[in-house]
Amino acid sequence: MSEKLGRRGFIKQAAWMGAALAAAGKTAGCRTLGRGEAAMAVTGLVCPPMETVRVGVIGLGARGPGAVHIYAGLPGIQVTALCDLYKERAENQQKWLKEKGKPDAAVYGGSEEAWKKLCESDKVDLVHVTTPWLLHAPMALYAMRRGKHVAIEVPAAVTVDECWDMVETAEKTRRHCMMLENCCYGESEMFAFMLCRMGVLGDLIHGEGAYLHDLASYKFNKNGYQGMWRLNFSKQHTGNPYPMHGMGPICQYMDINRGDTFDFLTSVSSDQRGLSQFAVDKFGKESAEAKETYRLGDMNTTLIRTRRGRTIMVQHNTTNPRPYSRINTITGTKGTLADYPLRVALGDKAHGWMSDAELAALKAKYVHPLWDKKGEAARKSGGHGGMDYLLLLRLGYCLNKGLPLDISVYDTALWSSVVELSERSVLKRGASVDVPDFTRGGWKRAAPLGIVDVG
């Protein structure tokens, strides 16, 4: 059985776009690359170059400070606003900027709606959102409606309706809405991307990605996730709440939304055992934590089929003890790349993996330009091995030069939609669920992502 997902009501009305979008595009000074129907959407959206991108960062707990520190060291970017529910966190980052000789940034905080003032500021061009998941979409929508571009931590949204809202708002306001999928800029992922783009793996058939990361201790840590929001999500939802790290790079390998797109998915989850066992071990069998109900199955496996007949497997497990892995496997008609550890098998020698020497030579031949030119700086900067640095470097470069972003609002919506869709399928015993086409056919015309650079 397939659960059919209809489009939102007014999306069926093609006339909705016309004059409203033309007016918005004229006002914003942004346009799309293309003509006719494709130009009404925001695939290939370009905006006037910004000599300096003024960034406001919302959320300065776990991820936010790292973003501030990277932005502060990039050319053509200035951090002009800082906001956190706890104002002292924003003040601490303001102090750090001052110590580094950077201009003062406006400081907001101390209330649950202080972030709105940052979005309304005429000193901010780009709003960077790094807050609990349930706040991502509301903050992004508010920022775009105030004329700002937005960059959102993963997942950008947790419901299909939120995904549509982001698409519609980006189209109406002509503003960029990019999910900060840093793994698309990982060294192994960009090497895999090069092999795919250069045809080394042949016609792509299947990909596998995952987020396998034991976070049980963090979920139960009252000083960890703000208000223990991640544990609360595990109490309320099943499916795959965090598919993007493994899936995003595979989508770029396969030209998803740029020549292909998702068709349907099916998802199953194991029983939930790990969180309950952790609670028993840490707090005792009679504790409230041990008696709590947790809905998130320990292991979720989601299978996606694309319109061009490729398949993608995505897994999620943040509960059981196991080494970290994103799997990162891509198979084509000429070979396979698999990660954790990185291995490649090609052609008539594919019954065994390449030797270390052969793999090193292949990596040298197909190194991605971003890692070739900026890899040393990325590694020194840190941030998940340098991928955070390259993500923000490339984002700033595109805004400085007036280029389309590597991850569009359609990618942001499609990748995020798997959160709710996987849960729908799990609750229907793995029944297939149709995936919305957020591009409304635009994927058939959009050009593949190129081998990007920063000059």
- Domain holding 415: CATH number? 3.30.360.10
CATH code where residue 89 lies: 3.40.50.720
Same domain, 162 and 196: no
122 shares its domain with 191: no
Please state the domain count of the chain.
Answer: 2
Kindly report the average pLDDT of the chain as a whole number.
93
**Segments in 242-367 forming alpha helices (H):** 244-253, 274-283, 288-291, 356-365
Whether residue 176 is found in the same domain as residue 191: no
- The answer for 290, left when phi > 0, alpha when psi is -120 to 50, beta otherwise, is alpha
Q: Helices (DSSP H) in 59-208: which residue ranges?
A: 64-72, 87-99, 114-120, 133-145, 160-173, 187-197
> Region 336-347: what's the mean pLDDT?
98
Q: Is residue 454 part of a domain?
A: no
The confidence band for 33, taking pLDDT boundaries of 50, 70 and 90, is low
Q: 21 and 95 share a domain?
A: yes
Q: Are residues 139 and 190 in the same domain?
A: no
Q: What is the average per-residue pLDDT within 290-312?
A: 98
Q: Which domain holds residue 110?
A: 2-180
pLDDT at 40: 57
Residue 245 near residue 208 (C-beta atoms within 8 A): no
pLDDT tens-digit series, residues 164-177? 999 999 999 999 99
Give the 3-state DSSP-derived string for 216-237, with helices as H, strands as E and coil as C: HHHHCCCCCCHHHHHHHHHHHC
Is the torsion defined by CA of 140, 141, 142, 143 positive or negative?
positive
Is the same domain home to 172 and 205? no
Please say whether the beta carbons of 176 and 47 come within 8 A: yes
Looking at residue 17, its pLDDT comes to 31
Contact between 178 and 158 (Cβ < 8 Å) = no
Could you read off the pLDDT of 235-280 as tens digits, one per residue?
Answer: 999 999 999 999 999 999 999 999 999 999 999 999 999 999 999 9
Q: What is the pLDDT, as a whole number, of residue 330?
A: 98
For 64-116, what is each residue's pLDDT tens digit?
999 999 999 999 999 999 999 999 999 999 999 999 999 999 999 999 999 99
Indicate the DSSP class of residue 292.
S
Are residue 172 and residue 290 in the same domain, yes or no? Answer: no
- Cα–Cα distance, 183 to 328 (Å, whole number): 10
Output the pTM of the full model.
0.93
**Helices 369-381 and 387-401: crossing angle, nearest 10°?**
120
Please state, in angstroms and rounded to a whole number, the distance separating the CA atoms of residues 346 and 200. 8
Domain boundary residue among 157, 180, 203? 180
Same domain, 211 and 134: no
